[in-house]
Amino acid sequence: MEKQALAGVKVVDFGWALVGSLTGKHLGDHGAQVVRVESTTRPDLTRMDRTVSTTKSLDDNPMFTHFNTSKYSMALNLKHPRAPEVVDRLIRWGDVVNANFTPGTLSKMGFGYEHIRGIKPDIIMAEGSAYGQTGPMAQEWGVDGTGAALSGYLHLTGWPDRGPVAPNLPYSDVLLPLFIATAIIAALDYKRRTGKGQYIDASMIEVCSHQITPSLLDWEANRHLQNRNGNRIAYAAPHGIFPCQGDDRWCAIAVFTDGEWEAFCHAIGNPAWTKEPRFATLNSRKENEDTLEEQVSEWTKQHSAQEVMQIMQAAGVPAGVVQTVQDLLENDPQLKERKLLLPLKHPVMGVFSHPTPPFKLLKTKAQVRTSPCMGEHTEYVCTEFLGMSHEEFAELSRQGVFK
Amino acid sequence: MADSLLSGFRALDLTNEKGFVCGKILAALGVEVIKVEKPGGDPARGIPPFLHNIPDPEKSLYWYAFNTDKQSITLNLQVNQGQDLFRKLVEKVDFVLESFVPGYMNSLGLGYEALREVNPRIIMTSITPFGQKGPYAQYKGSELIASAMGGVLLTTGDPDRPPVREGPDSVYFRTGAAAALGTVIAHYHREITGEGQQVDVSLQGVVASRTFTNLVMWEFTKHLIKRSGSVRKIGPRATRWIWQCKDGYVFWAFMPGRFGAPANRALSKWIDEDGLENPLNNIPDWDELDISLISRDEIATYEEAMARFFMNHTKKEIVEEGLKRGINAASIDSPADVLENRQLEARGYWVDLEHPESNSTFMYPKQFFLCDHTHNFVNHRAPLIGEHNQDIYAKELGLSSTEIATLKKTGVI
């Protein structure tokens, strides 16, 4: 196997649902040994999701797979009386502990940071949560939408004359893991240099609120309260989604500079309306944006979304088809080139696409493996990673620890 | 001052708005980030809003927001002398961050292979709309284009209107975070092995890597998930996410099974206490509730009752009383509300950054996360154009004042 960037990094992964699972995935996809600690007594939400799966199996859910590639699965009932000794051995083995339970949960079970640090003083432990580990809201639970609501993101998504809307895909849940994984790796490097471990407390609303810093400053400096604004932005026109041939097909066009505006006009054949003074400058186009968008739509409607993109891009105007996931999988040569959605075989579900990391390390490439079945590696982890004898493993197993 | 996770490392940051956030994160982690701008300043300094609404390259609040803690030098990379100076700087740094069109750095003799000659340990992180190679590599892109091409845009918006973009600038922000992660992974490997490399980040790839659930629905059931307004669709089931109250909106998700049961039960009880009609009482066992098995009509009946209930209260009532009851709704906050969030305040989330040139001070978000042994904070306002020319060119490269004056006169810096 080719070398991977995080080879040799050992992660004890108590992560679950999206935030914790994805944090572990980011590390595993680049070569860290990630042991996902889970239990049939309280399976991950995404192992039980019945959206696609019609059985009660814990191993036939592709949602779980998307969030848990490149991991080992160890089944361990944390509430079993003999679980603590196994957890302690895991911690001695690990460099990193990753978790995202509601703050306080791990401590209540006896596996909080104080305990873990007692066993391994230079451990790196990261906990992700909605609100953070301290403050008046620390003990409260939250989900993807909590971060989206409290960070200003939802307020700014939608049309000015209507209420906020949300994408049918996670937002905060996919943002937070990128930051936690970054912190973990930076902390590993810090430990390499200083010998010191680290506790990392990452809050969804804190990460997400950074995103709207320009809107925060606009309020502070100018007392201008930004609101939903459809697809329009102040420094480009036309800038929007335009209807094309076909059912619910659209193309995005974004004209920022004067040069792009000239190229746009030329690309659509310089019709008379483009010569009108009210469309001559960015400012005048912004003032007449309704009419401008109607005119652009008249032209885009005569073409397929693919044609609009190609005509625009050939002329040097930023444009892109509003793609469906079917397009991503079947009609996008760029994503194919990047192997972004990689078909891999899962032992139960067969071949389907696995999202690969959102960046490419060109020398130490990510090697994505499909997700493990529940407890698939329990014995392997115990004997190979933790150094248990087979007799010891069999005894603990008989007592029901590994469920 | 306590040190930071990546204190002692340095980066040259040549990015525009597509890559600002990567350098901002590294800077908060202690990397000394030097922004390399063309003489006259980065064109992205033209992005509004502006301080006091006065368009000026030194007054872009957008630029302020995402270039905190960076230093700035000016350098014309299109002339030989500028390229030579850049190579000298590359010898002294650990990272180069850039967002030019693929091939542009190479055409200047500053591509990854050329920089590796100068500094074999260098990590070059390249952020582009579609990636370094492939049929769309030369296509132009932006926040909106990437969201469209990555498959997220189609899933956002009201069904009776065109798809609508997410809150600004979601793609750029997540791309910056992904780029920072890729950069530190490459860094970790470099520190152990001595081997540098290029990190190739595409805006489209960042967006598409997030299409999890919708990919699953298409591949397993041939069902395409599109936009559904304030209702969140996970697979075929759809539940309302956003509820109108007397004075605004709140987020609250009707979640199934054991996970959602405590909040669902508490909400139902509160509806009863309000004396409102309550069909939720027909649900026999909240722990066993599987939303994917109940009909859309039945969900609609429940949601109508919930909608009446939310409209019966203010945001504040729903949030504060709801917390006591374990309902955990969250108010959909405006930027002004975010600045007043008491949890953020309690965690020391805000830092006042001074802008002495305009006699102003603004609150900025201070941390991406908290660590017990290191400080990883936003500390300083974004730089003025070429603010650190003297420091870098004189102290770092050892140029004399006359040499610097000549470089200025000839437009190199």
Residues 93-152 of B with CB under 8 A from A: 129-131, 133-137, 139-142, 144-152
In the numeric block, which tokens belong to residue B117? 């000659």
φ, ψ dihedrals at A128, nearest 5°: -105, 145
State the virtual CA torsion across B341, B345, B347, B349 in degrees, nearest 10: 90
Which residues of chain A have a CB within 8 Å of the CB of B192? 192
Which of A6, A29, A42, A51 is the mutation pick for testing B, counting most B CBs within 10 A?
A: A51
Contact B215 A329 (CB under 8 A): yes
Domain A239-328 has CATH 3.30.1540.10: yes
Dihedral over Cα of A252, A258, A263, A265: its sign: positive
Cβ pair B21, B175 in contact under 8 A: yes
In the numeric block, which tokens belong to residue B387? 């603010």
pLDDT score at A53: 81
Q: How far apart are CA A358 and CA B152, in angstroms?
A: 14
Give the neighbor-by-neighbor strand order of the sheet with A198-203: A72-75, A33-38, A10-13, A96-99, A124-129, A198-203, B370-371
pLDDT score at B175: 98
- Strand pairing partners for B249? B244
Residue B214 lies in a domain: no
- A335 CB neighbour count, 10 Å cutoff: 26
Contacts with B313 (C-beta within 8 Å, 6 or more apart), sequence order: B245, B246, B321
**Which range, of A48-57, A385-394, B99-108, B151-160, averages the lowest pLDDT?**
A48-57
pLDDT score at A311: 98
Tens-digit pLDDT profile for residues A353-375: 999 999 999 999 999 999 999 99
Angle between helices B170-193 and A172-194 (to 10 degrees): 20
φ, ψ dihedrals at A18, nearest 5°: -95, -55
Q: Are residues B312 and B374 in the same domain?
A: no
Task: Using CB atoms within 10 Å of the CB of residue B227, give its burial: 0 to 12 exposed, 13 to 18 middle, 19+ buried.
Answer: buried
Element (H, E) at B62: helix B61-66
Q: How far apart are CA A238 and CA A225, in angstroms?
A: 23
The number of CA neighbours under 13 Å toward the Cβ of A55 is 8
DSSP class per residue in A215-283: HHHHHHHH-------TT-BTTBSSEEEEE-SSTT-EEEEE--SHHHHHHHHHHTT--GGGGSGGGSSHH
pLDDT score at A169: 95
In the numeric block, which tokens belong to residue A343? 């078909």
- Residue B1 in this model has a pLDDT that exceeds 60: no
- CA-to-CA separations, A74 to A113, A188, A369, A377, A387, in angstroms, rounded: 21, 24, 16, 6, 15
Residues 38-77 of B with CB under 8 A from A: 46-49, 51-53, 61-62, 64-66
Q: What is the pTM of this model?
A: 0.98
Domain with CATH 3.30.1540.10 in chain A: 239-328
Q: Which of B317, B337, B357 is the last residue of a domain?
A: B337
Min Cα–Cα distance to chain B from A392, Å: 35
Contact B191 A241 (CB under 8 A): no
Q: How confident is the model at residue B2 (pLDDT cuts 50, 70, 90)?
A: low
Q: What is the CATH number of the domain that holds B66?
A: 3.40.50.10540
Which residues of chain B have a CB within 8 Å of the CB of A135? 343, 346-347
Classified as helix, coil or strand, B68 is coil
φ, ψ dihedrals at A250, nearest 5°: -145, 155
Domain with CATH 3.40.50.10540 in chain A: 10-210+338-398
By Cβ distance, the residue of A234, A320, A359 closest to B182 is A359
Min Cα–Cα distance to chain B from A395, Å: 32
Residues 294-313 of B with CB under 8 A from A: none
**Cα B404 vs. chain centroid, distance in angstroms?**
37
- Strand pairing partners for B13? B35, B97
Q: Are residues B205 and B330 in the same domain?
A: no
Below-70 pLDDT ranges, chain A: 1
Q: Are residues B73 and B164 in the same domain?
A: yes
Contact B199 A221 (CB under 8 A): no
Residue whose token pair is 């490269």:
B397
Q: Are residues B260 and B286 in the same domain?
A: yes
Classified as helix, coil or strand, A41 is coil
The interface predicted TM-score (ipTM) is 0.98
Q: How far apart are CA A40 and CA A49, in angstroms?
A: 14
Q: What is the CATH number of the domain that holds B238?
A: 3.30.1540
Tens-digit pLDDT profile for residues B179-227: 999 999 999 999 999 999 999 999 999 999 999 989 999 999 999 999 9
Q: Are residues B134 and B22 in the same domain?
A: yes
Residues 236-295 of B with CB under 8 A from A: 236-237, 241-242, 244, 249-253, 255, 257, 259, 290, 292-293
Q: How would you classify the pairing of strands A319-321 and A341-346?
A: unpaired
**Which range, of A16-30, B104-118, B223-237, averages the lowest pLDDT?**
B223-237
Average pLDDT score over residue span B107-123: 98
* Cα angle value B404/B409/B411 (rounded, 5°): 95
Average pLDDT score over residue span B68-81: 97
**Cα B322 vs. chain centroid, distance in angstroms?**
30
Contacts with A350 (C-beta within 8 Å, 6 or more apart), sequence order: none
Q: How far apart are CA A106 and CA A112, in angstroms?
A: 5
Q: Which of B112, B104, B106, B30 is nearest to B70 (CA)?
A: B30
Q: Are residues B261 and B201 in the same domain?
A: no
pLDDT score at A68: 98
CATH superfamily of A10-210+338-398: Crotonobetainyl-coa:carnitine coa-transferase; domain 1 (3.40.50.10540)
Q: Are residues B114 and B172 in the same domain?
A: yes
Residue B131 lies in a domain: yes
* Residue B342: closest C-alpha in chain A: A136
By Cβ distance, the residue of A168, A211, A234 closest to B225 is A168
- Residue B391 in this model has a pLDDT that exceeds 80: yes
3-state DSSP percent of chain B in helix, strand and coil, to 5: 45, 15, 40
- Residue B235 in this model has a pLDDT that exceeds 80: no
Element (H, E) at A38: strand A33-38
In the numeric block, which tokens belong to residue A227? 């609101």
Q: Are residues B151 and B193 in the same domain?
A: yes
Total tally of structural domains belonging to chain B: 2
Query: Which structural domain range is residue B192 located in?
Result: 10-209+347-409
Under 8 Å CB pairs connecting chains A and B tally to 497
Q: How far apart are CA A388 and CA A397, in angstroms?
A: 12
* Residue B180: closest C-alpha in chain A: A182
Q: Are residues B237 and B278 in the same domain?
A: yes
Q: How would you classify the pairing of strands B197-202 and A10-13?
A: unpaired
Cβ pair B146, B206 in contact under 8 A: yes
Check CB contact of B350 with chain A, cutoff 8 Å. no
Contact A164 B187 (CB under 8 A): no
Q: Are residues B186 and B52 in the same domain?
A: yes
- B59 CB neighbour count, 10 Å cutoff: 20
Radius of gyration for the alpha carbons in chain B, expressed in angstroms and rounded: 26
Dihedral over Cα of A324, A327, A333, A339: its sign: positive
Q: Which of B312, B337, B362 is the last residue of a domain?
A: B337
Q: Are residues B189 and B266 in the same domain?
A: no
- CA-to-CA separations, B136 to A323, A329, B131, B160, B161, in angstroms, rounded: 14, 16, 8, 31, 28
Q: Are residues B69 and B133 in the same domain?
A: yes
Residue, of B234 and B398, whose pLDDT is higher: B398
pLDDT score at A122: 97
Say which DSSP state A158 is in.
B
Min Cα–Cα distance to chain A from B196, Å: 8
Which of A169, A174, A184, A247 is the mutation pick for testing B, counting most B CBs within 10 A?
A: A169
Q: In A173-192, which positions are buried (b, 16+ CB within 10 angstroms) versus exposed (e)? A: bbbbbbbbbbbbbbbbbbbe
